[in-house]
A = this chain, B = another copy of it.
Amino acid sequence: MEGVDYLVDERKKAQFDVDAMKIVWAGSRHAFEVSDRISKLVAGDPAFRKDDRTMLPRKELFKNTLRKAAYAWKRIIELRLSEEEASKLRFYVDEPAFTDLHWGMFVPAIKGQGTDEQQQKWLPLAYKMQIIGCYAQTELGHGSNVQGLETTATFDPKTDEFIIHSPTLTSSKWWPGGLGKVSTHAVVYARLITDGKDQGVHGFIVQLRNLEDHNPLPGITLGDIGTKFGNGAYNTMDNGVLRFDHVRIPRDQMLMRVSQVTREGKYMQSDVPRQLVYGTMVYVRQTIVADASCALSRAVCIATRYSAVRRQFGSQNGGPETQVIDYKTQQSRLFPLLASAYAFRFVGEWLNWLYTDVTQKLQANDFSTLPEVHACTAGLKSLTTSATADGIEECRKLCGGHGYLCSSGLPELFAVYVPACTYEGDNIVLLLQVARFLMKTVSQLGTGKKPVGTIAYMGRVKYLMQCRSDAQNAVDWLKPSIVLEAFEARAARMSVACAQNLSKFANPEEGFAELAADLVEAAVAHCQLIVVSKFIEKLQQDIPGKGVKKQLEVLCGIYYLSLLHKYQGDFIATSCISPKQASLANDQLRALYSQVRPNAIALVDAFNYTDHYLGSILGCYDGNVYPKLYEAAWKDPLNESDIPDGYHEYIRPLLKQQLRAARL
């Protein structure tokens, strides 16, 4: 059966140029070419095999990850890959490893918070991986609230050292990836104490392990925090626990770009603006949004292809059953996720631009847009990661029973993805930050301070509070102006309603706490508007390729109309649209499902994922699912013998009524 394409008929149905769409998805021809080349390089190298990952016991799994990480580094050097190519290679190896933290957190922390001398000392070592570092912030008892950290770094002027110490059990560092077994160094966050005074949380470079034999240094307790959700998944990572018993480090290992401790023990601020850290934050969140579109698109690719392969019911006169992708219930769950994958891709692209823009402004000491940028990136991180986590699980369910097998790839994709909802800011905490910004914006509307960027629509609040939607028939819902006005009016009205309710409280903080759930809903409305408007903006650009723009318009329509349907309570309760208009929107949504149907397979082909990267039998490119599932089953360790281990001790005595005598 090799070489047969079971989805060839589906691919023939496509009404657009798939190769052109691949470029749009990748962002540029260059990005496409690098991705395409590196993903095939990884897929073709048996050293990067991963189909056995969900079956390996923890120790073997972890050792295997160490092997892949070392091998990947070796290949990067041998092939003289550029930084971009090296990073793509790690991406397509698709296995969480200590290198993620080394390159993604340790190096940037030193770059962002270290002085020039510190960078000159540490970065060359890190770049060559002569040291391996991680980022030790969270503690057993302290996650989101960085200001609550308990680890102390007390300056000892006698020896010109800091004493790093874990005063309580809950102050144990807990969760940092790469910490448990691999890292030789860490950037450790601790409360700086000088002259008995608590100066707040600062970062310190601390060596954890001896570079000769890898043993933990004196006073340092290190370990892995145990098994995590899922088979394979994040169990390839040594998320760690770390305790300090009065560990001394030289004074110059405090990261001193923004504040310093002098030889005399005096605490000082430098003239480097603290706002510079926001640049890093925007960068990290942009990466998370881009990752969301990757993870969601993988799940959607699997579910879409298998929905075209799988048939259930509807057989006429003994003919084949109906492809499940032809059922409207399947379409109404699957196609909004396909549209979301594209929507998140484009909003991620826009965030990339925003990062460049913010960086330039920061360098020019222009901090005016920071609050808006902070709220916008916080909200988009929250919205896209929550939708992606739920979306992956929905895709798993859309594959029926077989989605529950690890060989479908979806269980591991889900398990490895969900932490994104919690790390880098818990999603609900982030939405509350967005809400705080919204309330501040509303309160300043009378002051002449003009809302900018993604919140600019609030400048038209008077109009938005009283407008009525013009939609007269279903196709009106394809007009960007009608759509944007409805989403803007809904967001504005929900924010204003919250502000009005807040004003009834004597104590604003109490009101904020009491109305938190409503505030979160207002924040979601605002964030959805951002994604919708960036998708619409994307379509106002020139997009080459036969039929490509048309397909994206259909997906954009599905994205906003499925949101409008799901949240119709918001739109109707705030009188932004009438029940009749909501019903027309729903009719239009169904019509768009029919339009996307023949293009569905081509639209997931445009992600250009290799079967290796996808890691799913259900999603394999050629659609030849069942023989592959059947073959894969026999690789399970349980199938090593016909008679299972334990038969003689436990099954046979049971069958033969000899349990009384059995040793159990």
- A positions within 8 Å CB-CB of B: 47, 54-59, 62-63, 66-67, 69-71, 73-74, 77-78, 128-132, 138, 140-145, 148, 169-170, 172, 175, 180-182, 184, 211, 213-216, 222-231, 234, 238, 241, 311-313, 315, 321, 327-329, 331-333, 393, 397, 400-401, 404-407, 411, 415, 418-419, 421-423, 426, 428, 432, 513-518, 520, 567-575, 579, 582-583, 586, 590, 626-627, 629-630, 632-640, 642-647, 649-657, 659-660, 662, 664
Contacts and interface: CB of A to CB of B under 8 A. Distances in A.
Contact of A238 (B67, B422, B638): B638
B406 A422 contact: no
Contact of A329 (B78, B516, B638): B516
Contacts of A660: 74, 77-78
Contact of A586 (B518, B568, B638, B651): B518
Contacts of A520: 329
A241 B569 CA distance: 47
A401 B415 contact: no
B415 A645 contact: no
Contact of A651 (B66, B216, B312): B66
Nearest to A564: B569
A432 to B, nearest CB: 7
B70 A401 contact: no
B401 A638 contact: no
A100 to B, nearest CB: 15
A50 to B, nearest CB: 13
A331 B635 CA distance: 46
Contact of A140 (B169, B626, B640, B642): B626
A145 B327 CA distance: 14
Contact of A573 (B62, B182, B582): B582
B143 A401 contact: yes
Contacts of A333: 428
A62 B230 contact: no
B216 A407 contact: no
Contact of A321 (B145, B224, B586, B640): B145
Contacts of A145: 312-313, 321
Contact of A569 (B215, B418, B572, B632): B572
A223 to B, nearest CB: 5
Contacts of A213: 643
A514 B644 contact: no
Nearest to A184: B655
Contacts of A582: 569, 573
Given A143-B400, A234-B404, A333-B428, 11 more contacts: A58-B638, A62-B645, A63-B644, A63-B650, A70-B651, A70-B653, A180-B638, A230-B230, A241-B633, A400-B426, A572-B579
A405 B226 contact: yes
A656 to B, nearest CB: 8
B642 A222 contact: yes
A514 B664 contact: no
8 contacts: A66-B647, A67-B646, A172-B630, A214-B652, A228-B406, A228-B411, A397-B422, A400-B422
